[in-house]
Amino acid sequence: MESIMAELSPVLKQATPVLAARGEGVYLFDEDDRRYLDFTAGIGVTSTGHCHPRVVEAAQRQVGTLIHGQYTTVMHRPLLRLTERLGEVLPSGLDRVFYVNSGSEAVEASVRLARQATGRQNIVAFEGGFHGRTMGAGALTSSGVKIRAGLGPMMPGVAFSPFPETYRHGWSQAEAVRFALRELDQLLLTVTSPADTAAFIIEPVLGEGGYIPAPPEFLEGLRERADRHGILLIVDEVQTGVGRTGRFWGHDHAGIRPDIIITAKGLASGFPLSAIAAGQELMSKAWPGSQGGTYGGNAVAAAAALATLDVVRDENLVDNAAEQGARLKEGLRKVAAEYPVIGDVRGLGLMVGNEFTTDDGRPDTATATRAHKAAAERGLLLLTCGPHGNVVRMIPPLVVNSQQVDEAVSLWSEAVKNAVSG
Ligand code: PMP
């Protein structure tokens, strides 16, 4: 299997190749009907679990009614209803929504809007952030050099400022926030003057960069500086949105109000749909015809998204993410207490990372890789992240229950034991 997959595509990077035949809730089944606990959820897209009956039914019904109407020219009911429903979960006043197909495209759309609305060019992104692989979104990405190395010149006008990291520096949260805000102020004095800066773009929890939550005080500091300088605050909720962190939006943990929210992944339970949301005044500054694409706001994806939002509400999945996330983190911390190679267990809700480090605090990518692989061999699918690939992350569907969380922790414990002894 491994060799067939490698032959088909040289860019695959799977710990243990799994040929997924079907999905059901938190489980994936391969062609031999072997069952896997899917704690990758397709990098968070299967928010409601694989093939949730209500999402399947909504999509099937829509396929037989209207598959697509390019909504900037032909509007359709599923998208109107979705926009209304999003209005119920978006912060008040951020109820103008624009649809595209992927996280990266939505990031690009947010940059276009920010530049159009402010007449300024530069964007400040944060070290370790991930915003996508297109040439614009990739230019804002620094979670690992592989997204950019050898590919330049990328989109110009990007400046990076430090993300407040505690574990890596051995700092308290207050120290990390103070440092990162001071560096940002310095950047605005030395590299990109506020008069040239259109926006800050930030993930409420660094995703690909290592599952590091942004302290609320940092997001508050960004909001304050954005207000002071007329800079827009773009919050990339592609990975953190739709309940993943135990609040509907990741930035809800800080209580700040972004100017633009980007959402994708969990929004449509696996159908390609993404969106940016902004206030009416800001969105009206987008130049007509300068945004959009052929498949944006696809009717089947919109119907699936509408069903997803209904399931998230009716099954209390945001609260479930908070509750099961706490249980997961507690279980993982017990495993980490037994195996000092896991130096940090962190995250918000059902977005939890296990960072592997050596005795002297260096990234231990080798052991993390072995644990990742050993978990897959035991039927637990996980992902790695962080610039060194030494953080093993767990991001199950939001429908996960206590028994499945406990099973995952137990499989993880065995996998780590195996990795440490191997
Ligand atoms: N932003 C964030 C925070 C992401 O995690 C990702 C995907 N991992 C993206 C943007 C890009 O999304 P996509 O892969 O759909 O283009």
**All residues at 6 or more sequence positions from 41 whose CB lies less than 8 Å from its CB, including other chains:** 47, 395, 396, 397
Ranges of each domain in the chain: 2-51+316-421, 54-314
How far, in Å, CA of 277 to CA of 308, rounded?
18
pLDDT digits (tens, 9 = 90+) for 387-405: 999 999 999 999 999 999 9
204 lines ligand 1 (CB under 6 A): no
pLDDT average, residue stretch 160-164 = 98
Distance 418 CA to ligand 1 centre (A): 32
Instruction: Write down the pLDDT at residue 288.
Output: 85
237 lines ligand 1 (CB under 6 A): no
**Does 308 score more than 70 pLDDT?**
yes
pLDDT digits (tens, 9 = 90+) for 337-356: 999 999 999 999 999 999 99
Instruction: Write down the pLDDT at residue 11.
Output: 60
Distance 359 CA to ligand 1 centre (A): 33
For the question of whether the overall pTM of this predicted structure is more than 0.95, the answer is yes
99 lines ligand 1 (CB under 6 A): no
Fold of 2-51+316-421: Aspartate Aminotransferase, domain 1 (3.90.1150)
Q: What is the mean pLDDT of the chain?
A: 95
Instruction: Write down the pLDDT at residue 17.
Output: 72
54-314 in CATH: which number? Answer: 3.40.640.10
**Does 145 score more than 90 pLDDT?**
no
**All residues at 6 or more sequence positions from 319 whose CB lies less than 8 Å from its CB, including other chains:** 246
Distance 237 CA to ligand 1 centre (A): 9
Q: Is 339 exposed, middle or buried (0-12, 13-18, 19+ CB in 10 A)?
A: middle
Backbone angles phi, psi at 200, to 5 degrees: -100, 140
In testing the pocket of ligand 1, which one of 46, 110, 111, 131 has its CB within 8 Å of the most ligand atoms?
Answer: 131
User: Does 69 or 409 have the greater pLDDT score?
Assistant: 409
From residue 191, how far is each of 117, 167, 185 by CA, in Å? 22, 27, 10
How far, in Å, CA of 108 to CA of 322, rounded?
31
How far, in Å, CA of 206 to CA of 187, rounded?
20
User: Beta 274-278 vs 96-100: how paired, if at all?
Assistant: antiparallel
236 lines ligand 1 (CB under 6 A): yes
Retrieve residue 359's tokens: 């005795």
Distance 58 CA to ligand 1 centre (A): 25
- Contact call for residues 357 and 351 (beta carbons, < 8 A): no
**Does 15 score more than 90 pLDDT?**
no
From residue 420, how far is each of 57, 376, 383 by CA, in Å? 45, 16, 18
Answer left, alpha or beta for residue 93, where phi above 0 means left and psi between -120 and 50 means alpha. Answer: left
CA dihedral of 125, 128, 130, 133, whole degrees rounded to 10: 100
* Nearest atom in ligand 1 to 43's CA: 8
Share of the chain above pLDDT 70, in %: 96
Confidence of residue 70 (pLDDT cuts 50, 70, 90): confident
Question: Can you state the angle between helices 299-314 and 53-63, rounded to 10 degrees?
Answer: 160
107 lines ligand 1 (CB under 6 A): yes
Q: What is the ipTM of this complex?
A: 0.99
The residue nearest atom 12 of ligand 1, judged by CA position, is: 103
Instruction: Write down the pLDDT at residue 74.
Output: 85
